[in-house]
Structure 1
Amino acid sequence: MKSSIFILIGGAIGASCRYLMNHALSFTEFPIWTISENLIGSLLLGILTGYVLIKSIPLHWQRGLGVGVCGGFTTMSTFVLDVVHLFQQQTLFLIMIYLFTSLFGGLIFAFIGMALGKRMASQQPKGATNYV
């Protein structure tokens, strides 16, 4: 039950951040906001994963931050819809840039995030709590 509450709160935070980011970056036809959200979300989830590999944090926090915040912030459905819109505009070059940037950029950001998370966890001062 505790995990569900953390996921609910995290999801609200992530979705609200995505909403605000969409309005801040909605000045272009190219879906830069979706790429930005998904890359940032990949980085954040990578940081969380890397941190958890070194330090133990309660499962409800892991789920609240990972499934809730990162899941609410990132968006697969908008990614797919953006590809459909670009396809309808017959912009094959933009589709390829969008797909490449989203997929490979997401992987790169996740790996960078994992490295950062591990580094953050390993540099935590002795005696400090392991909980986020």
Structure 2
Amino acid sequence: MLWKNILLVGLGGSLGSIARFLCQKYIYAWHPHPFPFGTMIVNIAGCFIIGLLCALADKGNLFTPAWRILLTTGFCGGFTTFSTFAYENISLLRNGDIMYFMLYTAASVILGLLATWLGMLLVGA
């Protein structure tokens, strides 16, 4: 079962990564700009897609667990991990975990930026 799920995530992730690459390439070709519109649009689209898929899966049992793994963890995870971050934050809010929501959001953004900067600093960039 674990290997099946790993393969589903890998397949979905590869399709999501290809979709992200093509979307960003098309958006930049359509509107070249120093602001990262491509990444922003992909992140927002990924959030919409994961929200739609999870709601459909939860509400109507429309997907088997295998399809849910393929589409959410796989495709959406490959398309943008920001969608998972947003969905997890919404889940925390829906469960009333306001403190965890604030901690997760602040820590992810601040520590993510700090870790990126430290990685670049380590290389001398």
Partners of 1:75 and 1:45 lie apart in 2 by 10
Distance (Å, rounded) in 1 between the aligned partners of 2:74 and 2:21: 15
Contact 1:3/1:61, CA 8 A, preserved across alignment:
no
Match in the other structure for 1:63: 69
**Once the two structures are aligned, what percentage of the paired residues are identical?**
28
Map of 2:23 onto structure 1: 21
TM-score (ref. length: structure 1):
0.55
Note if contact 1:37-1:73 (Cα within 8 Å) is conserved in structure 2. yes
Q: How many residues align?
A: 80
Partner of 1:38: 43
Whether contact under 8 Å (1:18, 1:74) holds in the other structure is yes
Normalized against structure 2, the TM-score is what?
A: 0.58
Q: Which runs of 5+ in 2 are unaligned?
A: 91-125
| Residues 1:73 and 2:79 are matched in the alignment | yes
Worse overlay, 34-43 or 19-28: 19-28
Give the root-mean-square deviation of aligned CA atoms.
Answer: 2.1
Q: Deviations over 1:66-92 (max 9, x none)?
A: 01110101155xxxxxxxxxxxxxxxx
Q: Which amino acid aligns with 2:56?
A: Y
1:15 is displaced (CA, Å) by 0.1
Name the CA distance, whole Å, in 1 between partners of 2:59 and 2:24: 34
Structure 1 stretches of 4+ with a deviation exceeding 4 A read none
